[in-house]
Structures are given as structure tokens and as C-alpha cells.
Amino acid sequence: MRFARRKLDVTPPYVSMADIAFNLVLFFLILAKTQDDSNRLDWVPAKAAGGQAIKNPLISVTVDRDNRVYLNGQQIGLRDLTEKVAALLGDKPPTERSVVLKIHHETLAATFEPIMEAVSQAGGEVVHVIEEERPS
């Protein structure tokens, strides 16, 4: 007895592929967002007026709740700060020399003033990250 060979009709699952593509986009978006190590540091910004949106900051200096200083998410000593910021800034034009300072609101001047001085000496433009104060 002979059986007729059935022809297999395989259609690629285009809709499922679109799902996978979307999920991949989401995966890379979330990955890119968590790349910035300074997001995981424990600090609360000071409230003040006059804030402007910061676009793509290249260098960030963070002071956390425990007065630890971080350069781009990596803990660093104050003595090395000027040298390392200067190295990161290199020969960048003045418009790209912004250094964002994420200083915990309770940090004392004894800690944050030397940081500002170090950034200033390295040729960086200080940008304080603040929380916009709403008028009461």
C-alpha cells in the first residue's frame, strides 16, 4: 500500500518574531539604563530653584550618605580626584567639560568644598544636581 506524501506547509511565525524583537529592544533599553553605576548610590539631592535639564553627562562625582566619594560610580579618594577628572576631560571643548556633582543634601562643606575645588582645578564646569524646589 502506498501513502501519498503530504507536503508540509510551514509558515514562519511572524507575529511571535515581532514579540521577540520588542522584548529584545526592551532588554537593551533597560540594560543601557542600568549601565550608569551612579544610579545605585545612596544619596538624596538638595532642593533648590533654577535647575536645568542635564543632557548626557559624561562625568559624575557623587557623595553618598556616608561621605564616600565616587567618580562615575567608582569609589575614589579626594587626593586623586583632580588628576582623574583632568584625565577624563582630556582636551574636550568647553561645551563638553561639564562635571555633574551629585552631593547628598546633608554633606558638610568640609567634604564638598574640596571636591568643587578639585573639579575646578581639573578644568571642569561644575553642575550641581538638584531637585527642583516647588514654590509653596
Partner 1 sequence: MAAGPVGGGSGGAQTAWVLNLLTDLAFNLLIFFVVCASTAEDEKGRPQQMPSASKEKAAEQKNTNIEVAIGRTDVKVNGEDVPPAQVKAKLATLLAGKTRPEDKIVVVKSAKDAPYSHWIKVTGAIEQAGGAITLQLEEEQEVVR
Binding site for partner 1 (CB under 8 A): 11, 13, 15-16, 18-19, 22-23, 25-26, 29-30, 32-33, 46-55, 57, 98, 100, 103-110, 112-114, 116-117, 120-121, 125-132
Q: What gap in Å lies between CA 45 and CA 95, rounded to an integer?
A: 24
Query: Residue 47: what residue type?
Result: K
Residue closer to partner 1 by CB (options 80, 113) is 113
Query: Residue 119: what residue type?
Result: V
Least distance (Å) between residue 1 CB and partner 1: 28
Q: What gap in Å lies between CA 123 and CA 101, rounded to an integer?
A: 14
Contacts of 109 (CB under 8 A, 6+ apart): none
Residue closer to partner 1 by CB (options 51, 73) is 51
Residue closer to partner 1 by CB (options 9, 91) is 9
